Amino acid sequence: MAPHHDSAELLRSSGRRVTQARLTVMSILRMSGSHMTPSEVIGRVEGTDVHVNQSTIYRALSDLRDAGLVSESRFGSGEASYEWILDQNHHHVHCTGCGETVELDEKPVRRFLSDVARESGFVPDTKHLVITGLCRRCQAN
């Protein structure tokens, strides 16, 4: 699996060393277009000709999260999931009843964060927000 051309530059500009493991994980997350658990990433890596052990994949995911290239979400009590965001704001609502996750439009989240700042004097630095609760279907049940 060939990494995207600018992946190495993204790593360097974030202060991270360029490694085959990081490039491979970046490529997998970029191409998936959705959330992936570490187990799913490991499965995809195993389907390539790149040989990377599982602990290295977990470290790569953490490094990419810390660099602001991927988001880490915890939906319910399950395993963390990762998604390629590259410094974009990315928000969700997650139903704790049925597990459905829906992306939120940036506008209402921006208004909410503005209200938080106005009320508390605290300016949130939130690129990724997950709000948990119950969807309409689960509320009706």
- Mean pLDDT value across residues 21-28: 91
Is residue 59 very low, low, confident or very high in pLDDT (cuts 50, 70, 90)?
very high
Quick one: pLDDT at residue 3? 43
* pLDDT tens digits along 69-112: 888 887 666 788 888 886 567 788 888 888 888 888 888 888 88
Domain boundaries, the chain: 7-84, 90-140
Cβ within 8 Å of residue 99, ≥6 positions away: 75, 76
What is the CATH number assigned to the segment(s) 7-84? 1.10.10.10
What secondary structure does DSSP assign to 24-45, as a single string?
Answer: HHHHHHHHH-S-B-HHHHHHHH
Give the Cβ contact number of residue 32 at 10 Å. Answer: 15
Please give the CATH superfamily to which domain 90-140 belongs: Ferric-uptake regulator, C-terminal dimerisarion domain (3.30.1490.190)
Given a cut of 80, is residue 33 above it in pLDDT? no
Closest CA to 60 of 48, 124, 52: 52
Roughly how many angstroms between the first and final C-alpha of the chain, as a whole number? 45
Rounded Cα distance between 135 and 96, Å, is 8
Domains 7-84 and 90-140 share a fold: no
Three-state SS at 8: helix
- Mean pLDDT value across residues 110-122: 90
Residues of the chain above pLDDT 70, percent:
92
